Amino acid sequence: MEIIENNKEKLVLRIDSNEQLANAIRRSVSEVKTLAIDTVEIFKNDSALYDEILAHRLGLIPLKTEKSMSDKTKVDFKLTKTGPCTVY
């Protein structure tokens, strides 16, 4: 095993292993708390995409979190835009 990077925020390792060990590590990493968009309310959608597709794409956005956030932390995002335009 070779340690490539080790600091408070990140640990990067390089190891020769089999698929079973790689899957076990992947499953344990999934236990790290993350923040994701859970509920989406769309009031008016004039785009070519269905509301469900927009909600799914919003749920795939990785969000950075603060360490002080707990399981009960709630964050609200609001986007309002009118007229023909592109929103990024």
Alpha-carbon distances, residue 87 vs 8, 15, 34, 62 (angstroms): 35, 42, 25, 17
Within a domain: residue 87? no
pTM listed for this prediction: 0.53
Tokens representing 30 are 């999934």
Q: What is the mean pLDDT of residues 2-25?
A: 85
Total domain count, the chain: 1
Q: How far is CA 4 from the centre of its chain?
A: 25
Confidence at residue 50, expressed as pLDDT on a 0 to 100 scale? 92
Residue 28 pLDDT level (bands cut at 50, 70, 90): confident
Confidence at residue 31, expressed as pLDDT on a 0 to 100 scale? 63
Q: Which domain holds residue 15?
A: 2-59
Which runs of consecutive H residues, i.e. helices, occur in 1-88? 19-29, 51-59
Around Cβ 81, how many Cβ atoms within 10 Å? Answer: 8
pLDDT tens column, 39-63? 888 888 888 889 999 999 988 887 8
Residue 10 pLDDT level (bands cut at 50, 70, 90): confident
Within a domain: residue 20? yes
Confidence at residue 17, expressed as pLDDT on a 0 to 100 scale? 84
Within a domain: residue 7? yes
